[in-house]
Amino acid sequence: MDGKWGNAYYGTDALGWLIEVAAYDVSANIVFLNGAAFDPQPPLGTGETRYIKLKTLDEVNDASVIDFIRQAANYDGWK
């Protein structure tokens, strides 16, 4: 799904939308729509959503990023 500002949303039929990716000129935010339930929580954001900011493509392979993505699949997302 392409959001209002061209953001990409990822999820499953069963769980709903789990992750939003917002790309900017010098960074990208990976927003976990159920991130408040994570342990540990992603460091940025308020309410139910939490996010991380990536400045290089190599950061996608960081163990904490992979863990957050795996945790996203363990909770219901936005339906």
With bands split at pLDDT 50, 70 and 90, how would you rate the model's confidence at 79? confident
Of 70, 4, 59, give the one whose Cα is nearest residue 29: 59
pLDDT in tens, 13-68: 999 999 999 999 899 999 999 999 999 999 999 999 999 999 999 999 999 999 99
Structure tokens given for 68? 């957050």
Question: What secondary structure letter does DSSP report for 42?
Answer: P
Up-side HSE of residue 53: CA atoms within 13 Å toward CB?
8
**Amino acid at residue number 41:** Q
